[in-house]
A = this chain, B = another copy of it.
């Protein structure tokens, strides 16, 4: 199947193919744990931001609060995460439970192995360059861009 110059000329296309490659392998590495790479990311974010609320978690994952809620439901149903009373009566404070810590550690080991295998043809120097170039993607900041 020919993939003409048109397709290959898009950086977005190449990034998409690279993502599919990486995610497929990570997903296979996590198969035993019955959680997707995105759900592992959620566990990491909750661990590193204990007491965060669902909306903030969703923002970090680029999903809305309704989707974030479904995600937290799944993690809570599995006994990995807990909803505690938050900073006011509207918000939950999300906490990683001991079972979540244990499972996350096993998942991290598996995904680190996957990530290492998929990047083994790149030197440490090249990986640094790749990170730098990926971080530079996105529209140029406007002169009067403001943070929220």
Residues of chain A touching chain B, judged by Cβ–Cβ distance below 8 Å, are 1-4, 6-7, 9-23, 25-26, 37, 41, 44-45, 47-49, 52, 56-57, 59-60, 62, 108, 111-112, 114-115, 117-122, 126-127, 129-131, 133-140
CB pair A122–B108 under 8 Å, yes or no, is no
> In chain B, what residue has the closest Cβ to A8?
B131
| A135 cross-chain contacts in B, Cβ below 8 A | 14
Given contacts A15-B134, A22-B15, is CB(A1)–CB(B114) below 8 Å? no
| Number of copies of chain A assembled together | 2
Cross-interface CB contact of A136 among B41, B48, B108, B122, cutoff 8 Å: B122
Given contacts A52-B1, A129-B129, A136-B122, is CB(A111)–CB(B59) below 8 Å? no
| A127 cross-chain contacts in B, Cβ below 8 A | 11
| A57 cross-chain contacts in B, Cβ below 8 A | 1
A53 CB, min distance to chain B CBs, angstroms: 10
> In chain B, what residue has the closest Cβ to A52?
B1
Given contacts A1-B49, A12-B37, A48-B3, is CB(A121)–CB(B134) below 8 Å? no
Given contacts A18-B134, A56-B1, is CB(A26)–CB(B49) below 8 Å? no
| A111 cross-chain contacts in B, Cβ below 8 A | 10, 12
